C-alpha cells in the first residue's frame, strides 16, 4: 500500500512537468520564465473553453475576465512606478474622440509656444482582448509621453464578440481623423509635422490600415508623419509562411490561435479553421484572388534567404469552395494592409517595424517592410533574434523579460530620433 502514494505522486509530477515543459529555441534567453507565462495563458484558455462548453459564459468574455484581473494585480504592483516618482507630471484623461473612447496622456507642461509630438496608439489582443487603461500598455504610454514630450492618445476600440470587422477599424479611423483635426491639435499644442500612429499585433494591423487610409485621403490637410508597427498582423491569405511554420509551437501566439482570431474578426464560422491552416481558403481555384494579389504576399520573393530557409510554399490547387464568400473581408485591404497596391504604399508615412524571430507574425512584418521600401518609403526594421510574440508587453515585474525591455527602449529611442 505504501507504493501507491509514491506512484501517484510520481505520476502527478510527470504530468505537471509534461504540461509545463515546452522545447524552446536556444536563442530565447529566459526559457523557463516564458514556459511559466505560457502555462498561465494555456490554463486560462482551457478554463475559458470549459466554461463556454458548460454554457456559463462566452469564451472571449471568460478570457477577458481573467486577463483583466491579472492586469489589475499588475497595475497595483506597478502603480508606484507608473504613477509615482518616475512620471509624476503626466496627466491622464479618459474622454471620447468622435464618439470613440480614448485615454489621453499629456506630458508635463513646457514653455509657452512650444509644440509637442503627438502619437495615437492602438493596442493588440486579436481584435478581441486588451485595454489601454491597464497593465503594460498604460505604463509604456506614460513613459512615452514623459520621455518624448508627447501627447499620446490610446484608443479603446470595440472588440469581438460585440462587433466584427470593419467596426474596430472604423473606430480607430474616426479617432485618428479627430486627433489630426485642427481643433484637437490646437487644444493639445501638437506639431502637425510630428504625429505618429502606432500599435502592436492586431493594433499594428489597425495602425497600418489607418495610416494607409489617411495617407490617401485628399481631404486630410494633416497626416501621420510616422507609423510604428510592433509585430503587426497584416495578411490572412497564407498561414504557411516560414515564420508561421517555424514558430507554430512557440508561446504565446500559437498558429491556430492566430487563425482563430482572424475568423472571429471576420465573423466567419470557426469550423473553417482547418481550411485556413491548410491554405485551402486561398487555393488557385479562387479567381478573385488574382496573381497580382498573390504576389503581394509572396514570401518567396519578399523574404531574404535567411528567413526563407528551406521552407517551401504551400499552394493548393483546389480547396474549399467558398473562399472569400466564407470568410468575408478576406481580400479587404482595411483588414489586410499587406494587400494594398504600390500606389497606396508609396503615399504611406515612413515606418518603424519591430519583428521577432520566434513569432508566427515575423514574416508579415518583414514582407510589409520590403513592399514599403520597394514603393519608396523609408523603413527601419528592428528585428529581435531572441524575441517572441508579446515580449513588448512584458516589461513590468513579475512578468518582465530582458528582450521586452530592450524592445521598448529601441521603440522609444527610434521615436525620439524620428518623430
Q: Following DSSP, what letter does each residue of 8-35 receive, concatenated?
A: HHHHHHHHHHHHH-----TT-S-HHHHH
Q: How many CB atoms lie within 10 A of CB 252?
A: 18
Is 136 assigned a catalytic role? Answer: no
CA 266 to chain centroid, in Å, comes to: 16
Please state the length of the chain.
419
CB 272 within 8 A of CB 327: yes
| SS3 label, residue 5 | helix
C-alpha cell of 228? 510604428
pLDDT for 2: 62
Catalytically annotated residue among 359, 363, 364, 382: 359
pLDDT tens digits, one per residue of 147-184: 999 999 999 999 999 999 999 999 999 999 999 999 99
pLDDT for 185: 97
DSSP annotation of 150 reads: E
Is 82 assigned a catalytic role? Answer: no
Domains with residue ranges and CATH for the chain = 30-108+116-418 (3.40.50.1820)
Catalytically annotated residue among 62, 82, 201, 348: 201
Range list of H helices, 279-379: 291-295, 299-302, 305-308, 342-345, 362-374
Angle at 277 between CA 276 and CA 281, to 5 degrees: 25
Is 154 assigned a catalytic role? Answer: no
DSSP annotation of 303 reads: S
pLDDT for 21: 81
More confidently predicted of 217 and 56: 217
CA 209 to each of CA 15, 131, 230, 345: distance values in angstroms, whole numbers, following the listed order: 45, 20, 14, 11
More confidently predicted of 62 and 76: 62
Q: How confident is the model at residue 64 (pLDDT cuts 50, 70, 90)?
A: confident
CA 162 to each of CA 49, 157, 158, 172, 304: distance values in angstroms, whole numbers, following the listed order: 18, 11, 7, 16, 40
Is this structure's pTM higher than 0.75?
yes
Q: Where are the beta strands (DSSP E) in 35-144?
A: 91-97, 100-106, 116-122
pLDDT value at 6 more than 70: no
CB 175 within 8 A of CB 122: no
CA 184 to chain centroid, in Å, comes to: 27
Alpha-carbon distance of 54 to 50, in angstroms, equals 6
Alpha-carbon distance of 125 to 249, in angstroms, equals 19
pLDDT tens digits, one per residue of 367-387: 999 999 999 999 999 999 999
CA 7 to chain centroid, in Å, comes to: 45
pLDDT tens digits, one per residue of 228-276: 999 999 999 999 999 999 999 999 999 999 999 999 999 999 999 999 9
Cell 471620447 locates to 96
The 3-state DSSP composition of the chain as helix, strand, coil percent (nearest 5) reads 50, 15, 35
CA 189 to chain centroid, in Å, comes to: 29
pLDDT for 81: 45
pLDDT for 13: 56
Catalytically annotated residue among 123, 281, 307, 389: 389
Amino acid at each position: 500500500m505504501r507504493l501507491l502514494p509514491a506512484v501517484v505522486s510520481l505520476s502527478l509530477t510527470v504530468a505537471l512537468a509534461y504540461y509545463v515543459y515546452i522545447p524552446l529555441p536556444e536563442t530565447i534567453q529566459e526559457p523557463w520564465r516564458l514556459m511559466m507565462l505560457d502555462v498561465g495563458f494555456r490554463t486560462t484558455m482551457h478554463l475559458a473553453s470549459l466554461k463556454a462548453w458548460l454554457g456559463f459564459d462566452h469564451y472571449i468574455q471568460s478570457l477577458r475576465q481573467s486577463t483583466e484581473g491579472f492586469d489589475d494585480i499588475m497595475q497595483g504592483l506597478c502603480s508606484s512606478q507608473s504613477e509615482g516618482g518616475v512620471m509624476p507630471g503626466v496627466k491622464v484623461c479618459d474622454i471620447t474622440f468622435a464618439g470613440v473612447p480614448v485615454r489621453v496622456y499629456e506630458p508635463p507642461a513646457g514653455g509657452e509656444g512650444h509644440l509637442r509630438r503627438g502619437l495615437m496608439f492602438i493596442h493588440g489582443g486579436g481584435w478581441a482582448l486588451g485595454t489601454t487603461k491597464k497593465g503594460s500598455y498604460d505604463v509604456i504610454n506614460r513613459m512615452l509621453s514623459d520621455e518624448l514630450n508627447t501627447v499620446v492618445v490610446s484608443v479603446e476600440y470595440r472588440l469581438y464578440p460585440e462587433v466584427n470587422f470593419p467596426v474596430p477599424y472604423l473606430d480607430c479611423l474616426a479617432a485618428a481623423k479627430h486627433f489630426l483635426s485642427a481643433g484637437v491639435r490646437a487644444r493639445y499644442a501638437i506639431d502637425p509635422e510630428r504625429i505618429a500612429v502606432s500599435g502592436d499585433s492586431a493594433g499594428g494591423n489597425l495602425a497600418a490600415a489607418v495610416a494607409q487610409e489617411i495617407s490617401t485621403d485628399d481631404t486630410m490637410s494633416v497626416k501621420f508623419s510616422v507609423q510604428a508597427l510592433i509585430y503587426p498582423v497584416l495578411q490572412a491569405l497564407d498561414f504557411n509562411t516560414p515564420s508561421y511554420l517555424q514558430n507554430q509551437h512557440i508561446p504565446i501566439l500559437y498558429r491556430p490561435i492566430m487563425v482563430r482570431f482572424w475568423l472571429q474578426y471576420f465573423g466567419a464560422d470557426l469550423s473553417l479553421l482547418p481550411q485556413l491552416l491548410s491554405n485551402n481558403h486561398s487555393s488557385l481555384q479562387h479567381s478573385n484572388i488574382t496573381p497580382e494579389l498573390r504576389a503581394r504576399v509572396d514570401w518567396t520573393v519578399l523574404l531574404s534567404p535567411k528567413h526563407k530557409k528551406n521552407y517551401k510554399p504551400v499552394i493548393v490547387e483546389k480547396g474549399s469552395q467558398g473562399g472569400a464568400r466564407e470568410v468575408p473581408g478576406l481580400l479587404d485591404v482595411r483588414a489586410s494592409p499587406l494587400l494594398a497596391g504600390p500606389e497606396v504604399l508609396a503615399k504611406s508615412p515612413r515606418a518603424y517595424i519591430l519583428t521577432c524571430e520566434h513569432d508566427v507574425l515575423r514574416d508579415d512584418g518583414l514582407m510589409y517592410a520590403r513592399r514599403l521600401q520597394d514603393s519608396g518609403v523609408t523603413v527601419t526594421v528592428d528585428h529581435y533574434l531572441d524575441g517572441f510574440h508579446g515580449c513588448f508587453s512584458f516589461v513590468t515585474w513579475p512578468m518582465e523579460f530582458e528582450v521586452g525591455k530592450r524592445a521598448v527602449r529601441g521603440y522609444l529611442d527610434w521615436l525620439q530620433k524620428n518623430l
